Amino acid sequence: MTSFTARRYDSGEPVRIALQNGRITDVEPIWTREPLEDWPWVAPAFFDLQINGYGGVWFADEKLTVEQVLEVLAGYRTHGVGRLFPTLITSSRKALEHGFRTVRAACEKEAWADRMVAGCHLEGPYISDQDGPRGAHPVQHVRPCDWSEFEALNAASGGRIRLVTVAAEAVGAAEFIRRASDAGILVALGHQAADAAQIRAAVDAGARLSTHLGNGAAGMLKRHPNFLWDQLADDRLIPSVISDGHHLPDAVLKTFVAAKSPERVVITCDASGLAGMPPGVYPTAFGPFEVVDDGRIVVAGQRTLLAGSALTTEVCVGHMVKATGVTLGQACDMAGRIPLRLCGLDAPRLIAGAAADLVLFGFEAGAGKLTIDKLMTA
């Protein structure tokens, strides 16, 4: 049995946590004279439902290898991420099948990888073909909803696809969403230019998440109606937000959180395959992308079309606190318990009997900066 002391992420209370055989066996409040400022915080390990790759590796690369999948996964452990959804964006069927097959092979090779891959996220290819809503997804691979293709991709993944992002206005969307929801797969709306009726029909059919709300959107929107209001106002939809400080202005982030409540917002970093790379222009399967020295990743040759984040989940958790005034506990749950529950997965708490998937970290509240000390997984 091992034990350690830390401050609970949700209450700030100092506790001693005992672990045995991958489980929490005790969480005991302790009294101390020590100043708590120097104590690490402890929270359930982070979960991110949208990770595209890392260090120059994309899950959607048609040459992806098992070793690369394992490298990307191991990289996220240093960022406090205990579980994640490898995310494959709009690509050819061949590339998508290869990507899912390779993720599956990595999970079948290593038990730790199988546990870390809580599912897979297919973002596209059934999205808008318009510039703006489409974001950095390659237009030549955008296509109408195709349930039989989706089933083939899910089979390639070993049944791991737990989340699919589609545009509400994509051809065949309502029927596709109904089938996916019936199969227990979470459907998100994103990369769309849908109107109110299309969004309502998609939510009626079962869509429950808005993928990176406020991004993957037209640069110019009519003041109202527009798809932001429609998604904010529908209480059945929970938004994911990229709270990295670049994708959304703080005022937008704060407004989204206020509209939905801190209990109904999901943080994702949407990390690009170029996350972790130094500034420069890189060829990718989706065209040339540029890592800018301020940390943004853009479609090369311009500065407004972002192409995923260079920053990782823990950065987004820290920035969420600074930008919106939610508590550290609420922000951690946005990158843990809230999306896990939404995806129908086990969401461990800091109680005896729970899986010992824990992250220890330091937090500078004024700067919104979270620094990972250690990740423990059961």
In the complex, the residues that contact Zn ion under the rule CB under 5 A are 216
110 is in an annotated binding site: no
Of 216 and 273, nearer to Zn ion (C-beta) is: 216
93 is written with which tokens? 């069927």
Of 138 and 216, nearer to Zn ion (C-beta) is: 216
How far is Cα 288 from Cα 298, in angstroms, rounded to an integer? 9
Which residue has the closest beta carbon to Zn ion? 216
Q: Determine how many CB atoms are found less than 10 A away from the CB of residue 326.
A: 22
Of 209 and 375, nearer to Zn ion (C-beta) is: 209
DSSP result, 34-60? S-GGGSPEEEEPEEEEEE-EETTEETT
Could you tell me the smallest distance in angstroms from the CB atom of residue 271 to Zn ion?
A: 11
319 is in an annotated binding site: no
CB-neighbour burial class of residue 18 (10 A; exposed 0-12, middle 13-18, buried 19+):
middle
Cα dihedral across residues 116, 111, 310, 376: positive or negative: positive
247 is in an annotated binding site: yes
Of 125 and 216, nearer to Zn ion (C-beta) is: 216
Could you tell me the smallest distance in angstroms from the CB atom of residue 231 to Zn ion?
A: 15
308 is in an annotated binding site: yes
Q: In degrees to the nearest 10, what's the CA dihedral of 61, 67, 72, 75?
A: -160
Of 10 and 290, nearer to Zn ion (C-beta) is: 290
- The distance in angstroms from the start CA to the end CA of the chain is 13
Could you tell me the smallest distance in angstroms from the CB atom of residue 123 to Zn ion?
A: 5
119 is in an annotated binding site: no
How far is Cα 134 from Cα 329, in angstroms, rounded to an integer? 34
Answer yes or no: 10 catalytic: no
Could you tell me the smallest distance in angstroms from the CB atom of residue 257 to Zn ion?
A: 20
State whether residue 141 is helix, strand or coil.
Answer: helix
State whether residue 109 is helix, strand or coil.
Answer: helix
Could you tell me the smallest distance in angstroms from the CB atom of residue 150 to Zn ion?
A: 18
- Backbone phi, psi, residue 342, to 5°: -60, -35
Task: Give how far Cα 8 sits from Cα of 278, 325, 368, Å.
Answer: 35, 18, 18
How far is Cα 131 from Cα 345, in angstroms, rounded to an integer? 35
52 is in an annotated binding site: no
Burial 57-72 (b: 16+ CB within 10 A, else e): bbbbbeebebebbbbb
Of 44 and 214, nearer to Zn ion (C-beta) is: 214
79 is in an annotated binding site: no
Catalytic residue, from 234, 270, 333, 357: name it: 270
> Residue positions in the annotated binding site?
123, 136, 191, 212, 215-216, 223, 247, 306-308
> Residue positions in the annotated binding site for substrate?
136, 215-216, 223, 247, 306-308
> Residue positions in the annotated binding site for Zn(2+)?
123, 191, 212
For the annotated catalytic residues, the residue numbers are 270
